[in-house]
């Protein structure tokens, strides 16, 4: 953001006070927009930002591919005999892990944005209060969809064959997006609560690493010690990974889907209001 | 929804905000008449921005009350938000988006359809002379351009009350004049403007009433004329032919006018501050002074009569200056 590229004000056209006056005369205001409309508008803003800064797609493309290649070939031979057997088991899990990990960037972008004056403007608008936050998450849903698609394509190339077919895969990704949307309210909370981008990042890491690794993403939990099993078997990530794995394999794991949606609802109900409280008080 | 020009746009009583141990705003009472430019003048850290943020519903007051067009800023925040708009001290637009995108975004958020938002955005960019920069990201804009897009965003829906928080801080004099023109155009159409500034000449140029705040409190309030009158009738500046005669001139002025006389850095210059003496006008006092100096044989090369400037008002009220370099009266271009 160097100012060296700034256009000099010398070349600036003058302000036309007459046309300005004509514009100001119109005092009628459109009706208050719906909460859906304002949320979608904020979602559009997130997409515009991707358009202007496409580099930010790096973490939803390169990072998941790296994860997939790394874990498939690192563990595949040892855990399942061969990488091509392992990928049948591990791809839905790595998909879940990568997307859930990517959600933490939401907190960082909220934190960066909130420091800028534009947030004061958003907060002084007569609109449904959570729409700015919901808009972030809608824009992020697009990023998660891109990440999922990229990983699936690479997975298919490596030999992944989902028995659930197209429908199973789409429903699985749908569930993953719903969970990520709800889970992200933890990050919006941290984004508003913590002072610097760096602290948001390090707190997020502290949460996300144990949560994603201590799950059934890589291995069956049965070989883990009892105390760890107790944690892993009840972790929302385990439920999500099992549900997505089942759906993509052509099953209908109702229990796991139920648990996943239950956790999603809990995250939304707890961290949504906390986020909004911080947003209003900021 | 045109607001009546009588009545108050803003009314606060004992408004207060504390951050930790600091009482940033310490019982502010304001009454801002609708349809005018109201200046809030104070140095950095006086509590101007905090006050504006509370009035714009961005901060919750810790004490006191504030009403905007009769609506309580806490209990009826949405009613207030529908009527006000804010241009903060730093660009209140999204720097990653282009000028057009910013205005369309806000237009949509304010309830305009896609087409209407686009049209209104294009018209505003045109009026603000930004059409050429419409497709550029705001982060590539110059300071003056940012201010313009910022104010354009604030008047997308003509607000009843516009907060301008230090709108010209960091701008070159030319851009500052342009912002002043915009403010005049906005207020001419019936919008009330609350302007915070640390530039005394800015308040002098734009505001009809001024509140001077320092350390979170209003220390003076009134029209420009009232504020200036409170520090005296004005001052007489003299330049003598001969620096050796200055001590004598100083003595004469002190005795004749019973005025405070200040010796300027220039060895031949001196300034007498005239008291608000009811018996004589500033011009009359000055005439007597000149006559007396001539009789004493002191040659006066140059003479000017200064209205008290807001700088002097500020100095007199706070005991410290506003932190800027205009040490002298702004002489005759200042009109009360």
pLDDT in tens, B190-224: 999 999 998 888 888 899 999 999 889 998 899 88
Q: Which of A149, A150, A146, A152 has its CA nearest to residue A91? A: A152
The per-residue pLDDT of chain B, averaged, comes to: 85
With a cut of 70, say whether residue A10 has pLDDT above it. Answer: no
Confidence of residue B277 (pLDDT cuts 50, 70, 90): low
For residue A2, the model assigns a pLDDT of: 41
Angle at B40 between CA B37 and CA B41, to 5 degrees: 125
Confidence grade of residue B335 (pLDDT, cut at 50, 70, 90): very low
A209-224 per-position pLDDT tens digit:
999 999 988 888 888 8
Alpha carbon distance B307, B15 (integer Å): 33
- Residue B141 has phi, psi (to 5 degrees) of -80, 155
Mutation for A interface: B119, B127, B146, most A CBs within 10 A: B127
Bridge-based pairing of strands B217-223 and B71-72 is unpaired
CATH topology match: B8-228 vs B232-307: no
Query: Which CATH code is given to the segment(s) B8-228?
Result: 3.40.50.300
* Residue-level pLDDT at B237: 85
For residue A174, the model assigns a pLDDT of 96
Q: Which has the minimum average pLDDT: A164-168, B204-208, B315-319, B330-334?
A: B330-334
pLDDT at B330 over 60: no
Does the structure show a pLDDT above 60 at A6?
no
What confidence tier does A20 reach under pLDDT thresholds 50, 70, 90?
confident
Residue with token string 């797609």? A57
Contact A157/B at CB under 8 A: no
Number of helical (H) and strand (E) elements in chain B, helices listed first: 11, 14
A48: closest CA of chain B, how far (Å): 7
Interface confidence, given as ipTM, is 0.85
Angstrom distance (rounded) from CA B239 to CA B140 = 49
Residue B280 reports pLDDT greater than 80:
no
Q: Quick check: B136 and A7 CB within 8 A?
A: yes
CA torsion A271-A273-A277-A282 (nearest 10°) is 50
Mean pLDDT calculated for residue range A3-26? 67
pLDDT tens string B158-189: 999 999 999 988 888 888 998 999 999 999 98
Q: How far is A81 from chain B (nearest CA, A)?
A: 49
pLDDT higher for B232 or A236? A236
Residue-wise pLDDT tens digits, A161-205:
999 999 999 999 999 999 999 999 999 999 999 989 899 999 999
Compute the distance between CA of residue A82 and CA of residue A91 in angstroms, rounded to an integer: 14
Q: pTM for this one? A: 0.81
Q: Report pLDDT for B130.
A: 93
Tokens of residue B11, six digits: 């009314």
Structural domain boundaries in chain B:
8-228, 232-307
Residue of A nearest to B165 (CA): A117
Which pLDDT score, from 0 to 100, does residue B303 have? 86
How many angstroms away from the CA of B266 is the closest CA of chain A? 36
The answer to whether A140 touches A147, Cβ cutoff 8 Å, is no
Total beta-carbon pairs less than 8 A apart between chain A and chain B:
165
Tell me how crowded residue B312 is: count the other CB atoms within 10 A of its CB. 23
Helices marked H in chain A = 17-25, 35-52, 58-80, 83-102, 105-114, 118-123, 131-158, 165-183, 185-193, 197-213, 226-234, 236-248, 254-281
CB contact under 8 A, A45 and B97: yes
Q: Is the pLDDT of residue B332 over 60?
A: no
Nearest chain B alpha carbon to A125: B81
Query: What is the structure's pLDDT at B103?
Result: 96
Q: Which of residues 50-69 of A touch B (CB under 8 A)?
A: 52-53
Question: Which three-class secondary structure state does DSSP give residue B138?
Answer: helix
Question: What pLDDT is stored for residue B287 in this prediction?
Answer: 85
CA distance A89 to A111: 36
- What is the rounded average pLDDT for all residues in chain A? 89
Nearest residue to A129 (alpha-carbon basis) of A116, A139, A115, A119:
A119
* pLDDT of B99: 96
> Which of A12, A42, A43, A113 is the best residue to mutate to test the B interface, defined by the most B CB atoms within 10 Å of its own CB?
A12
Label residue B75 by pLDDT band (50, 70, 90): very high
Per-residue model confidence (pLDDT) at position B329: 37
| Domain B232-307 fold | Alpha-Beta Plaits (3.30.70)
Per residue in B44-63, pLDDT (tens digit) is 888 999 999 999 999 999 99
Q: In this complex, do B175 and A9 lie within 8 Å of one another by their Cβ atoms?
A: yes
The pLDDT of residue B320: 63
Task: Give me the pLDDT at residue B321, please.
Answer: 58
Nearest to B105 among A21, A41, A281 (CB): A41
Q: Name the pairing type of β-strands B37-41 and B209-214.
A: parallel
CB A144 within 8 A of CB A180: yes
pLDDT at A3 over 70: no
Q: Is A120 on the interface with B (CB under 8 A)?
A: yes
Contact B188 A21 (CB under 8 A): yes
pLDDT band per the 50, 70, 90 thresholds, residue B275: low
Q: Where are the domains of chain A?
A: 35-281
B250 neighbors B263 (Cβ within 8 angstroms):
yes
Mean pLDDT of the B221-249 span? 83
| Chain A residues with CB-CB distance to B112 below 8 A | 30
- Which residues lie closer than 8 Å to A237 by C-beta, 6 or more apart? A96, A97, A100, A211, A212, A215, A217
Tell me the HSE value of A241 on the side-chain side, using a 13 A CA sphere: 30
Calculate mean pLDDT across residues B90-100.
88
Q: Where are the alpha helices (DSSP H) in chain B?
A: 48-55, 77-81, 99-109, 114-127, 143-154, 173-188, 200-206, 224-229, 246-257, 282-295, 310-318
3-state secondary structure of B136: coil
Q: Please report which confidence band the pLDDT of residue B276 belongs to, taking 50, 70 and 90 as the band edges.
A: low
pLDDT surpasses 70 at B331: no
Check residue B45 and report its DSSP letter. T
Note whether A14 contacts B96, CB cutoff 8 Å.
Answer: no
Which positions in chain B touch A124 (Cβ < 8 Å)? Answer: 56-58, 81, 84-86
pLDDT confidence bin for B336, thresholds 50/70/90: very low
**Is the pLDDT confidence value at B69 over 90?**
yes
Residues B38, B44, B45, B47: what is their CA dihedral angle, to the nearest 10 degrees?
0
Would you place residue B279 in the very low, low, confident or very high pLDDT band (cuts 50, 70, 90)?
Answer: low
In the predicted model, is pLDDT for residue B328 greater than 60? no
Q: What pLDDT was estimated at residue A46?
A: 92
Cβ neighbors of B134 (< 8 A, separation 6 or more) are: B98, B99, B100, B122, B125
């Amino acid at each position: 953001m160097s100012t060296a590229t700034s256009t000099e004000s010398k070349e600036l056209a003058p302000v036309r006070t007459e046309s300005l006056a004509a514009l100001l005369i119109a005092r009628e205001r459109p009706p208050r927009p719906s909460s859906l409309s304002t949320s979608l508008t904020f979602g559009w803003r997130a997409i515009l930002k991707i358009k202007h800064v496409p580099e930010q797609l790096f973490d939803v493309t390169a990072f998941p591919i790296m994860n997939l290649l790394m874990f498939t070939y690192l563990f595949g031979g040892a855990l399942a005999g061969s990488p091509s057997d392992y990928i049948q088991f591990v791809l839905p899990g790595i998909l879940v892990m990568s997307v859930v990990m990517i959600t933490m960037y939401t907190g960082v972008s909220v934190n960066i944005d909130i420091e800028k004056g534009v947030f004061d403007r958003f907060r002084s608008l007569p609109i449904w209060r959570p729409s700015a936050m919901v808009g972030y998450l809608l824009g992020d849903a697009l990023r998660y969809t891109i990440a999922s698609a990229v990983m699936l394509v690479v997975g298919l190339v490596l030999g992944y064959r989902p028995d659930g077919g197209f429908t199973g895969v789409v429903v699985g990704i749908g569930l993953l997006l719903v969970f990520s949307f709800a889970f992200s309210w933890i990050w919006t909370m941290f984004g508003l609560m913590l002072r610097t981008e760096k602290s948001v990042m390090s707190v997020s890491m502290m949460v996300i690493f144990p949560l994603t690794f201590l799950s059934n993403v890589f291995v069956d939990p049965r070989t883990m010690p009892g105390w760890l099993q107790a944690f892993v078997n009840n972790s929302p990530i385990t439920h999500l990974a099992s549900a997505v794995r089942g759906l993509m394999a052509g099953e209908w794991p109702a229990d796991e889907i139920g648990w996943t949606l239950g956790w999603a609802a809990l995250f939304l109900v707890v961290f949504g209001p906390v986020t909004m409280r911080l947003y209003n008080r900021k | 929804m045109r607001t009546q020009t009588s009545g108050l746009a803003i009314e606060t009583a004992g408004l207060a905000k504390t951050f930790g141990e600091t009482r940033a705003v310490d019982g502010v009472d304001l009454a801002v008449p609708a349809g005018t430019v109201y200046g809030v003048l104070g140095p950095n850290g006086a509590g101007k921005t905090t006050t504006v943020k509370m009035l714009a519903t961005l901060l919750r007051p810790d004490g006191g009350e504030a009403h905007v067009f009769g609506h309580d800023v806490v209990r009826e925040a949405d009613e207030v938000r529908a009527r006000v708009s804010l241009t903060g001290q730093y660009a209140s637009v999204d720097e990653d988006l282009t000028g057009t995108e910013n205005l369309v975004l806000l237009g949509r958020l304010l309830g305009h359809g896609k087409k209407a938002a686009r049209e209104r955005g294009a018209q505003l960019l045109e009026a603000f002379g930004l059409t050429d920069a419409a497709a550029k990201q705001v982060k590539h804009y110059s300071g003056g351009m940012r201010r313009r897009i910022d104010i354009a965003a604030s008047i997308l829906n003509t607000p009843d009350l516009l907060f301008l928080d230090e709108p010209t801080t960091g701008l070159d004099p030319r851009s500052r004049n342009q912002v002043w023109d915009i403010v005049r155009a906005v207020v001419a159409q019936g919008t009330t403007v609350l302007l915070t500034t640390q530039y005394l000449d800015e308040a002098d140029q734009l505001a009809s009433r001024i509140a001077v705040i320092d350390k979170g409190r209003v220390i003076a309030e009134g029209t420009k004329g009232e504020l200036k009158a409170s520090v005296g009738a004005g001052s007489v500046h003299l330049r003598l032919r001969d620096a050796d005669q200055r001590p004598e001139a100083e003595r004469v002025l002190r005795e004749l006018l019973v005025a405070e006389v200040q010796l300027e850095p220039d060895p031949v210059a001196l300034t007498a501050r005239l008291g608000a003496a009811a018996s004589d006008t500033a011009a009359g006092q000055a005439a007597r002074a000149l006559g007396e100096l001539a009789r004493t044989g002191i040659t006066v090369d140059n003479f000017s009569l200064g209205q008290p400037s807001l700088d002097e008002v500020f100095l007199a009220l706070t005991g410290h200056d506003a932190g800027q370099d205009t040490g002298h009266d702004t002489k005759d271009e200042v009109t009360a």
